[in-house]
Chains A and B, each alone.
Chain A
Amino acid sequence: MTIQYDPNIYIIKFIIHPIYYHERRNKMKTFFLVALLILAQNNISFGFVDLELYHQQNESYGSFLENHCLEQESSIIQINGFNFHLFPKNTLNGNFYQRYRIFLLTLSLILIGIFFGAFYPRMTQPPIKK
């Protein structure tokens, strides 16, 4: 059995077709938004750490926070917010909540911001007649 390849169909279906174009644009948008979210979260998380919000934790589990700030082993990991605190030697003394507290706080605040921002027109304006 041979597979017929028609370049015209390929062009119509995947390049010119407006629905595909919109899908692709939406995917790009989603990608950039997620990337922005991770970056924002990373920066704000570091900001919180600098503000010493972990003060109480530092007293009992002093090592892991300092370590992650000062002893980054790779710049890639520093950019990637999801691997924040995942160095084995940094996490020895903390449970999940202690390790990811700043991360979770930032994520929650950003999600609240996004939710209340995105729903603002829908919740505070009359519905638009369609």
Chain B
Amino acid sequence: MINKPLGEILIEKNLITKEQLARALELQKETGSLLGEILVSLGLITPLQLYHVITEQGPFEYAGGNLQLLAQEIDPKLLSFFNPQDFFQFSFFPYRTNHDEIEILTPNPNNGSLRQFLENRFPGKRLTLKLITPYELDWLAHIFFKDKFLLEATSGLFYRSPEESAMRVFTPIQWISLGILCALIIIGVFTLPHLTLLILLGLANLFYAINVIFRYVLSSAGAKLDTNSSLFKKTDYQLRPSDLPIYTILLPLYHEPSSVIRQLKTAIQNLDYPPEKLDVIFLIEEDDQETLIHCKAEKPPYNVRFVIVPKGMPKTKPRACNFGLAFARGEFLTIYDAEDIPERDQLKKAVAYFRSSPPNIMCFQNALNFYNAEQNILTRLFTLEYSYWFDYLLPGLYLNHLPVPLGGTSNHFRTKILRDLGGWDPYNVTEDADLGMRASYRGYQIGILPSTTFEEANSQVKNWIRQRSRWLKGYLQTFLVHNRHPFQVIRNSGWKGWFTLQAFIGGTTLGQAFSLILWVLFFIWLFNRGEFLQSYFSGPILYLGVFNLIIGNFLGIYLNMLAVFRRRNDRLIFYSLLNPLYWWLASIAAWKGIFQLFTRPFFWEKTIHGLQFKGKPDE
């Protein structure tokens, strides 16, 4: 046992220099973190070197090294006294016990809250703490609780709350009602064809018109959101590094090329957040050895943990995220895609917003936009759409106190509430939108964070249709799941919440699918001089159709133009005139999504990342 400070021992062993120690001590003053953690997060020493030195310093013995042997020595009966979440919250793993003593493995033996927790749990027993590295703690949890975590990740939501899970695509009542509706339409078409088609066309046009007006109202409200709100300045005092909590970042990866991993690593390292308080989890599927090799080759910093998601069905991103959620240590948690580049101050901003918000705000959604907007026409149109969606529509929902379907990535959660809600639905292919709606219907709110994460816009039509068909299929799943108990939805979030579900979630997919039919009818009318369709488009239906054609399309294009102004992407403004072509693509994707809902409801159409790197000589 050496009675010397840690820094001094490390200098004596030539593991760090005096300047490095001084820098680390300065950071420790700012952040209040442990010196060892800071040195490891700066990459100056390895965790193993740190733990060997701490062992020499005493009085704690290092128990790790041979993980298999350690796992054999652990008393499995002792595990049943704890909830697995406790292991990550207090950073420990039970080891052995006898009559008057309990042995505990921990990477942080001086943690006061751990000692208090264990003393309350085992009053009168003597505690013996032994050292292991945080990686060993993860692996022990993986060895002993893999199956439990996996079961929870895959079926937890279904077993606890089957009506909120998309594991069953339809309920029997929904399926039978749909069958009866189809039969009635068929009978109508064959017995009273004219009247039936009039009713169908009238309803489609009415639905479309309501959707157009609703989106216009939302966008008008969203335009009022002040992104330079003074909220951030007000809470500046809360952003002292010492007050920042541990922040978990989940990164689900699947078949990612090395160029994407390199970009991701740089993006994470660039975040303005104390690295020792960042808990970064790379979620890699068991059968995806290629991505694991790419990740290891990039030598990510020590605050990155690899969690291997065991094989199983459904192989979806939410299942991987649920599995990763079990390992999360942070008070707050966010999720990024592999190709994301968040703004540097995003996490600090999220903490500030959480601290100054009521506790029922369980999540903040920040804007998404693209860094390859100028790659081709498709990426330009996609950028216009994304800007409109995240800068106008979602803020519009938020300001009107309506349920917000979370979008893609960069959702910042309170981890505890996320766990209480049951995490993501692994059977829903737009798990984020579903989670946003579920949270709203359970009384939580979603806020909007004025920060942006930049992603890679899909630059290939085929890949774009794949991605869009998944989104639209997922919106239908969400629409079906939350329409199982419409009265409950109305009771929890009022008529406005119910209407949002119909118009915004169902309306997005169904509206885009209908639009193709309406466009085809329009072209038939154009070339047929209206003779064939004249009897179907008369009176109110004609007015509605003309409203949709002229006002609806104008508003769609106009609102996309507006989106350009907030982002100052003036060069994209003329491309908004091409939007009708883009909507036709969306219609094709909508029909593909509807078809897949019946044939492959849980199939995850993987979006291929890194297309922008293709053809570049360095990549």
User: Which A residues fall within an 8 A CB radius of B?
Assistant: 53, 101-102, 104-105, 108-109, 112-113, 116, 119-120, 123-127, 129-130
- Write the nearest CB–CB distance from B544 to chain A, whole angstroms: 27
A116 lies within 8 A of B191 (CB): no
Stretch at the interface among B94-102, B165-173, B254-262, B487-495: B165-173
What's the nearest-Cβ distance from chain B to residue A117, in Å? 8
* B177 CB, min distance to chain A CBs, angstroms: 10
B178-204: CB near A (< 8 Å → 1, else 0) gives 110011001100110000000000000
Cβ-defined partner of B313 (8 Å) among A109, A123, A127: A127
Give 15 CB contacts A-B under 8 Å.
A104-B190, A105-B190, A109-B186, A112-B179, A112-B182, A112-B183, A116-B175, A116-B178, A120-B172, A123-B175, A124-B168, A124-B169, A125-B168, A127-B313, A129-B313
Q: Is the interface of B mostly helix, strand, loop or mixed?
A: helix
- Pair A119/B598 contact, Cβ less than 8 Å: yes
Contact status A127-B175, CB under 8 Å: no
A116's contact among B168, B169, B179, B601, by CB below 8 Å, is which? B179
**Given A112-B186, A119-B598: A124 touches B167 (CB 8 Å cut-off):** no
Chain B contact residue count (CB 8 A cutoff) = 22
Q: Is the CB of A126 within 8 A of B186?
A: no
Q: Are B186 and A105 in contact (CB under 8 A)?
A: yes
Question: Could you list which residues of chain B lie within 8 angstroms of chain A, going by C-beta atoms?
Answer: 158, 167-172, 175-176, 178-179, 182-183, 186-187, 190-191, 313-314, 598, 601-602
Whether the pair B602, A105 counts as a contact (CB closer than 8 A) is: no
A53: chain B residues within 8 A (beta carbon)? 191
> Across the interface, which residues of A come within 8 angstroms of B187, CB to CB?
105, 109
Q: Are B598 and A108 within 8 A (Cβ)?
A: no
Residue in B closest to A129 when the chains form the complex, CB atoms: B313
Write out the residue numbers on chain A whose beta carbons fall within 8 Å of the beta carbon of B179: 112-113, 116
Residues of A within 8 A of B313 (CB): 127, 129-130
- Least Cβ–Cβ distance between B9 and chain A, in angstroms: 53
Asked if A120 and B186 make an inter-chain contact with CB atoms under 8 angstroms apart, the answer reads no
Report the separation of the CA atoms of residues A102 and B167 in the bound assembly, to the nearest whole angstrom.
39
Q: B190, A124: Cβ atoms under 8 Å?
A: no
CB distance from A106 to the nearest CB of B (A): 9
User: In whole Å, how far is A46's beta carbon from the nearest beta carbon of chain B?
Assistant: 16
A80 to B168, CA, bound (A): 41
Most B CB contacts (10 A, CB to CB) among A53, A109, A127 go to A127
In the complex, A129→B155 CA distance in Å?
Answer: 11
- Nearest B residue to A126 via CB reads B167
CB contacts (< 8 Å) of B602 on chain A: these are 127
Pairwise interchain contact A109-B183, C-beta atoms closer than 8 A: yes
**Alpha-carbon distance between A102 and B175 when the two chains are bound, in angstroms:** 26
Q: How far is the CA of A105 from the CA of B184 in the complex (A)?
A: 11
A102 neighbours in B (Cβ, 8 Å)? 190
Residues of B contacting A116 in the complex (Cβ-Cβ under 8 angstroms):
175-176, 178-179, 182
Complexed CA–CA distance, A53 and B178 (Å)? 25
Most buried by A among B167, B176, B191, B314: B191
* Assembled-state Cα–Cα distance A108/B190 (Å): 10
Kindly list chain A residues whose C-beta atoms are within 8 Å of the C-beta of B178.
116
Residue of B168, B182, B190, B602 contacting most chain A CB atoms (<10 Å):
B190
> Which residues of A sit under 8 angstroms from B167, Cβ to Cβ?
126-127
Measured between beta carbons, the chain A residues less than 8 angstroms from B170 are 123-124
The interface residues of chain A lying within 8 Å CB-to-CB of B191 are 53, 105
Residues from chain A with a CB closer than 8 A to the CB of B186 are 105, 108-109, 112
* Min CB–CB distance B80 → chain A (angstroms): 26
Q: In whole angstroms, how far apart are the Cα atoms of A104 and B193 in the complex?
A: 13
**Interchain CB contact under 8 A, A124 and B175:** yes
The CA-CA distance from A22 to B187 in the complex, in Å, is 38
Query: How many Å from the CB of A19 to the closest CB on chain B?
Result: 26
Query: Do A120 and B190 touch (CB < 8 A)?
Result: no
Contacts of A101 in B (CB 8 A): 190
**Closest A residue, CB atoms, query B162:** A126
CB distance from B301 to the nearest CB of A (A): 38
